[in-house]
Structure 1
């Protein structure tokens, strides 16, 4: 050690000896310090000190309570609620702790929960004021007033109660009285932030935004870390169309608690109002995961999903909101929009009905109801509603456009065109009205009038690309390709990023038989607009027409790469991967997209399809269960769940699902068929017949109900009656499946010669029907005519070389005939269907006959596991076990086999084998 180092150590030791011991603050002192910091508005500092105090004294209920109040000061209601509950559970004074809990729940919008969980609590003024806030939010003004007045009785001039009474006066339309309450609080304490915040609310309600901003600044001067003031400033800035100010305020508000509910909600509102709905959706997903019942966030989530075209998700959010706020007409309108968007116009009409019959039936409500009627093709009703809406808002070009389109659908063509022309006069710049007029004229064959409408829009909007694209469309229909191309080109000169014009030029090239030119047009557009997903999709469509699947995949991959989180291109690419037998890629992409789109129906459907393609039935079931939850009124989605449960042999739940499908859509054929089949399996033949009769009444000209009746009668061992049903079904729609069922019924009725004639007649008319050819071979096999059956099956295999069923039956024939080709044929069948128990059994049985039990046993054991009720497989396994020397296992297998139903082809051989094994001891 150097001399300098030794001296330094000695000096440090000497100083340590002369300095007094450092004073470590106790938990009580830390709490006192935190209270002082809170009084100075330093909430973040107080939070740090309180956390240290909790480390020093983890059992302190006082620290927990102070933490709850500090989190409330910071606007972090979620953590405040948690700390308030901790304080309560650990025995802190119930009045203050319940007041903090109630305040946190009110901040989260959980007003009823705040009242329920604090009912019968301590007689505390802060609690009474917080409960008053909850009553007020629920619209229970009398209860709110009583709570505030009770708080004032307990604590004269209680600021929270006075502000509460001010808010109540504001709700009841007494702005002057409300102002008086705020001034009363501020006279005693000019820095009271709650009163200042309330005065800012009054200024906003009076449409004095600048005054409100000044008041928020006063709040922040008194309490610089008052997050709610920053949030409210941001909220106000959003309304004033000042996004930069709003974002700056939110950034400050988020510094201390990025997970704050109010900050998150307001950030989502800013994202939504500035055209970033995807970002808004991501923020709201986090907010609602933490606080599922924050109704403002629920309503905004509905609006965001509506903007994104995610109609089913939007519907769920609006329904949740309306459960709590059934009188909110705005939410009702948006729910109707979502239902119309998802194709459920009749239900949209029902949702709007309460508003239509009230004084709140404004032009927008009438217009939405008319849109719903348009979608259900009730054009006359729609025209009536649009006319009423137009009377209320005579200057609305969009309503007049709707009126014109509804009259067009109702056949009143002259009136329709007149209304559309009126709409274009009401707003000469309305692109929607002009396009509707152009398309209406084209639909009516009035091409010159359509052209005139497009050119009129050009004169009104010379700087817009759409009018020239419309002109190009009309000219193309008129067969004037050169002029149409010039119009599309002019549109692109105005707006080089206007894909519709480029697509029009490409279509002209396709129509002229020049697909290469069409492709080059879109490539040129993409060169100028490198992230155009539309152009990439257009190139994929051209590749599809040219039967170039690799190019389709390439362009869809390019489109999906533009925005890795975008749902539309991603869904298209997933579908392409599945079409081109790339399930692993489809699954990987679907899982990646699901992170940011957890409830998207199209994505859930593709995820399920990808899992099915991989053979992962349990995972596919989970995906389709999520799909059914996302689309609760979708019979096809629930049918997928039922079908997968049937595949997984979960028949009890499958039956419930099938009944639910039919409750949603009573006339759903596949659900009726599956449910009837389940009834047959259970022996409930009468219920199954009722299902068949219902199908017959609904579709008397459809074959399905009669075919189902035949199937049920066959299960009841009534082949003659079944034959009549099958024959009637065949007169409605003859198929090879019915031909086979008719043959089977005729044979069971004891008319084999008649059956042979019918089958020969069918094959004479359908000589290439491989399914019936293979069936006839099975008939001959059952009759023991293996030679004829083998010749027939050889013909089938020539037509379908990889058909595992035909190969398996052919191998059986060869074995019966002593043909050496039996094993190689059976092994070919096994390669094509490696998990089919009947094919495994055939290979194993041939190997047993050859004495190769070592190879036979694993196959027969697996076949028995896959088909435990197949008695012929169990017999073959017993024979193989006996031949291998394992007589005990063979006897055990035969014991189980012969204890049940012994009506199987090799029952007598099984009994003989058992007798031999017993005699051998």
Structure 2
């Protein structure tokens, strides 16, 4: 059969040609592709030309071609070092080592990467015992020098120079050592020696730039960095150092341009990230700085410069506790760093731990060379602790050291004001304004001090003096408006606030002043319109939204409060301040789910923020999630390791969780932090009483009395403990002493109870009657008197008293419950309805459940009675009266076996309670088959 010709001969021919070409080209392409070795050689050439990014691309291709190549890994490590990407360089160096590359060069690359990351000790530890390699010796010398081990650094550099006298890296190392030892000329000599042999040596040029920079010649340093970049345009460190210099020279645009160039090709570089954060911090963008530092420290947690900067950033943001943790971490590694110690003291003062701040500063206060700033910080700490005399002394010493500081003289004036030396205080504040007529801090302090002393004319004089020197500052006119308002001149005050706003339409303080004037004139609508107008011009003003929320709060308009706080939080969903306020508002308005959701979203950006953890715990408690709340407060206690209130929350939740053993440990820890923490002392004493150790509780009461002899709490606690020991006669003097210090209805009731238990019923009735005559609106005491009548079996009088209470407080669940008891005893048909109302108001109270359950037994609804009483028994398993009522309900429902089981448990225990005879009778009846 003849072969069938192709349907499309030309198409088939073209296809064959294409296929043939593909077959021929494939081997040719394979032949033309460079080998991994050729690519490595090309990369080395590119590195020598300063094209590090090009070298990186070629080396990655070489690795694709030969994945097992240790040499490629090593070259990648060196190239990443060239680019300043120490993190990736470390990774590649370790890969080269693990896969068997020559240990000397690979360890040298690893050590250089670790030194670049600031992990100097690790660099020495991980390369100890390595082979004799010049680059490794230099890297170890650099690490030793950074750790202050000058002799070891010198030995490392000299070891290299003994074999290679002109080794540039070793000579630069010797130059850096000379700088540390104060031999500046020798340092320049080492740099010049390298540059004489090779004027393009970038390490020597970089070192020379550092030298002239240290000599306060920034423009020369910039020129030298430019020489480096002319030789090696991709030298990331040169760009970074130029950015550093530009930051110091207050040239942020140049700094950002250099950082943008440095970030090309390796945006994750540690040095670039740190310097970007420093630029953001110096240009008042702390939020941006914190975001960058978070990434840097996530990659390299022990980069100490970033740790120190993170502390400074959080301090500026007002996150005092977080900043404290950073400064403490830094000082663990660098205990002699004065700057970090000062910053830690500022953080502690900011978080209200003035005594801890003083302890941090104490070593520097004893130093021979006194520092005015240290003295000023110590004085600030004393001011916070109201130790005004000590603060004044420290401010005076600081002012003597720095007689030109208006800030220190202002502090001296304020401390003298705290001492009560008002005339001298004003003199010091006036002196501060004389030292610096442009100091807004000193001027404002003088104005506010005079206002506080009701010296309104002097306050106006001070404000006018500021106005003469700084007429363009809105703060000055706002201060003047404040003084004029205090003088009762609202029109003039209004003009000053308006002038401040004209100077700066975004100056909220002036708008707030105008709004307050409207409020003072009883014009809340006008006050609101002023803030709305300000907000229309400044649409992202969180302050204005918060002000509108405050006005809504004054009007009891919770919906508007929520609206404005939601608007404020929406301006920056990650901002902590508005978010915390909104979260608290959600809790105030019983929107626990929203509060919890918001707290969790904010925690993504602020995982250790104490306010958020506290609000999250409150929201979880509001939802009844006790275990989750406990976890939140444990996190809070970890975030605030010296906070007694935070740990007290943990202890309280342990008590609620019925975990007294751990609660006791927590309470003791609270008192170790703050020995005079009253609620911890009271709870620990209560624990001691419950565990049968009243004498330990009495020791706590005695300690409270000695700590606070004019406080009632210690004496009241003593009375409570003695009452628990059934010693009412001994408790009475303690209660009377407490009552003399602090007259309250609670103590009046406790005294009445002690008198009754001591058998002095008539005296108790008389004293309680006198209290109620003097305090006819004391509903708590009225309800208590009703309870005493219930105890005496006078249900009619008790019911009348409780009805009077409920006319004033119709939702008082305790009063409703007791009234239901009275109605039941009186045979009043309203008993069940009243008990139902009490349960609606307090659905988790076992005593309220018990009342309703017992009434239901009496009305014949045994089935429901069992359900209600079982729930009450589950909440209060040790309450014997509830258990007896449950047994009676079971018997009435026909469950005789269940009833016997409950009665047997009661009979096997302590039978000293009111219904003991009823228990015996019911048990006997059931045994008899009744």
For the criterion TM > 0.5, the same-fold answer is yes
Q: What's the counterpart of residue 480 of structure 1?
A: 489
Map Cα deviations across residues 740-759 of structure 1 (whole Å, 9 max, x no partner). Answer: 43344344445556555555
Larger displacement relative to structure 2 (661-670 or 503-512): 503-512
| Alpha-carbon distance in 2 for matches of 1:152, 1:857 | 94
| Alpha-carbon distance in 2 for matches of 1:704, 1:810 | 32
| Alpha-carbon distance in 2 for matches of 1:57, 1:864 | 75
Q: What's the counterpart of residue 575 of structure 1?
A: 584
Q: What's the counterpart of residue 602 of structure 1?
A: 611
Q: Which consecutive unaligned segments of at least 5 residues does structure 2 have? A: 1-5
Matches within 5 A, 1:507-586: 507-586=516-595
1:865 to 874, 881, 896: 874
| Alpha-carbon distance in 2 for matches of 1:784, 1:875 | 20
User: Helix, strand or coil: the match of 1:598?
Assistant: coil
Q: Structure 2 vs 1, CA of residues 120 and 850 (structure 1 numbering), >3 Å: closer, same or farther?
A: farther
Q: Structure 2 vs 1, CA of residues 755 and 204 (structure 1 numbering), >3 Å: closer, same or farther?
A: same
| Alpha-carbon distance in 1 for matches of 2:61, 2:909 | 75
| Alpha-carbon distance in 2 for matches of 1:724, 1:433 | 54
1:75 aligns with 2:84: yes
Matches within 5 A, 1:606-645: 606-645=615-654
| Alpha-carbon distance in 2 for matches of 1:903, 1:22 | 105
Larger displacement relative to structure 2 (323-332 or 701-710): 323-332
User: Helix, strand or coil: the match of 2:267?
Assistant: coil
Q: What's the counterpart of residue 686 of structure 1?
A: 695
Structure 1 length-normalised TM: 0.88
Matches within 5 A, 1:151-550: 151-152=160-161, 157-186=166-195, 192-358=201-367, 360-379=369-388, 381-409=390-418, 416-443=425-452, 446-550=455-559
Q: Structure 2 vs 1, CA of residues 757 and 371 (structure 1 numbering), >3 Å: closer, same or farther?
A: closer
| Alpha-carbon distance in 1 for matches of 2:897, 2:796 | 38
2:663 to 645, 648, 654: 654
Q: Structure 2 vs 1, CA of residues 728 and 446 (structure 1 numbering), >3 Å: closer, same or farther?
A: closer
Larger displacement relative to structure 2 (57-66 or 819-828): 57-66
Q: What's the counterpart of residue 674 of structure 1?
A: 683
Larger displacement relative to structure 2 (384-393 or 244-253): 384-393
Q: How many residues align?
A: 921
Q: What's the counterpart of residue 104 of structure 1?
A: 113
Q: Structure 2 vs 1, CA of residues 187 and 607 (structure 1 numbering), >3 Å: closer, same or farther?
A: same
Q: Structure 2 vs 1, CA of residues 113 and 507 (structure 1 numbering), >3 Å: closer, same or farther?
A: same
Q: What's the counterpart of residue 3 of structure 2?
A: none
| Alpha-carbon distance in 1 for matches of 2:157, 2:326 | 33
User: In the alignment, is the contact (CA less than 8 A) between 1:401 and 1:420 conserved in 2?
Assistant: yes
Larger displacement relative to structure 2 (447-456 or 328-337): 447-456
Larger displacement relative to structure 2 (243-252 or 7-16): 7-16
User: Helix, strand or coil: the match of 2:172?
Assistant: helix
- How far the C-alpha of 1:666 sits from its partner, in A, is 1.8
Map Cα deviations across residues 374-427 of structure 1 (whole Å, 9 max, x no partner). Answer: 445555555554455445444444344444444555566565555544444443
Map Cα deviations across residues 761-803 of structure 1 (whole Å, 9 max, x no partner). Answer: 5445545443344444444545555555555544444443323
Q: Structure 2 vs 1, CA of residues 102 and 540 (structure 1 numbering), >3 Å: closer, same or farther?
A: same
- How far the C-alpha of 1:863 sits from its partner, in A, is 3.4
Q: Structure 2 vs 1, CA of residues 782 and 204 (structure 1 numbering), >3 Å: closer, same or farther?
A: same
Structure 2 length-normalised TM: 0.88
- How far the C-alpha of 1:65 sits from its partner, in A, is 5.0
User: Helix, strand or coil: the match of 1:602?
Assistant: helix
User: In the alignment, is the contact (CA less than 8 A) between 2:599 and 2:612 conserved in 1?
Assistant: yes
1:37 aligns with 2:37: no
Q: Structure 2 vs 1, CA of residues 755 and 182 (structure 1 numbering), >3 Å: closer, same or farther?
A: same
Q: Structure 2 vs 1, CA of residues 97 and 817 (structure 1 numbering), >3 Å: closer, same or farther?
A: farther
Q: What's the counterpart of residue 709 of structure 1?
A: 718
| Alpha-carbon distance in 2 for matches of 1:704, 1:288 | 48
Q: Structure 2 vs 1, CA of residues 515 and 797 (structure 1 numbering), >3 Å: closer, same or farther?
A: closer
Map Cα deviations across residues 691-733 of structure 1 (whole Å, 9 max, x no partner). Answer: 0011122233332112211222233333332233233333433
- How far the C-alpha of 1:662 sits from its partner, in A, is 1.9
User: In the alignment, is the contact (CA less than 8 A) between 2:35 and 2:65 conserved in 1?
Assistant: no
| Alpha-carbon distance in 1 for matches of 2:558, 2:502 | 33
1:18 to 12, 16, 24: 24
Map Cα deviations across residues 627-646 of structure 1 (whole Å, 9 max, x no partner). Answer: 33443333223322322222
Q: Structure 2 vs 1, CA of residues 826 and 482 (structure 1 numbering), >3 Å: closer, same or farther?
A: closer
User: In the alignment, is the contact (CA less than 8 A) between 2:670 and 2:680 conserved in 1?
Assistant: yes
| Alpha-carbon distance in 1 for matches of 2:523, 2:612 | 36
- How far the C-alpha of 1:276 sits from its partner, in A, is 0.8
User: In the alignment, is the contact (CA less than 8 A) between 1:40 and 1:223 conserved in 2?
Assistant: no
- How far the C-alpha of 1:157 sits from its partner, in A, is 4.9
User: In the alignment, is the contact (CA less than 8 A) between 1:608 and 1:619 conserved in 2?
Assistant: yes
User: In the alignment, is the contact (CA less than 8 A) between 2:36 and 2:63 conserved in 1?
Assistant: no
User: In the alignment, is the contact (CA less than 8 A) between 1:167 and 1:178 conserved in 2?
Assistant: yes
| Alpha-carbon distance in 2 for matches of 1:761, 1:488 | 55
| Alpha-carbon distance in 1 for matches of 2:31, 2:922 | 91
Map Cα deviations across residues 199-230 of structure 1 (whole Å, 9 max, x no partner). Answer: 33223223333443344344445544433333
User: In the alignment, is the contact (CA less than 8 A) between 1:807 and 1:825 conserved in 2?
Assistant: yes
User: Helix, strand or coil: the match of 1:40?
Assistant: helix
Q: Structure 2 vs 1, CA of residues 273 and 752 (structure 1 numbering), >3 Å: closer, same or farther?
A: same
| Alpha-carbon distance in 1 for matches of 2:689, 2:110 | 58
Q: Structure 2 vs 1, CA of residues 375 and 909 (structure 1 numbering), >3 Å: closer, same or farther?
A: closer
Q: Structure 2 vs 1, CA of residues 847 and 151 (structure 1 numbering), >3 Å: closer, same or farther?
A: farther
| Alpha-carbon distance in 2 for matches of 1:422, 1:904 | 76
Structure 1 vs Structure 2 CA RMSD: 3.9
Larger displacement relative to structure 2 (895-904 or 621-630): 895-904
| Alpha-carbon distance in 1 for matches of 2:736, 2:422 | 49
Q: Structure 2 vs 1, CA of residues 393 and 845 (structure 1 numbering), >3 Å: closer, same or farther?
A: closer
Q: Structure 2 vs 1, CA of residues 177 and 640 (structure 1 numbering), >3 Å: closer, same or farther?
A: same
Larger displacement relative to structure 2 (812-821 or 464-473): 812-821
User: In the alignment, is the contact (CA less than 8 A) between 1:27 and 1:57 conserved in 2?
Assistant: no
1:699 aligns with 2:708: yes
Q: Which consecutive unaligned segments of at least 5 residues does structure 1 have? A: none
Map Cα deviations across residues 209-268 of structure 1 (whole Å, 9 max, x no partner). Answer: 344334434444554443333322222222232222222222233343333221211111
User: Helix, strand or coil: the match of 2:578?
Assistant: helix
Q: What's the counterpart of residue 803 of structure 1?
A: 812
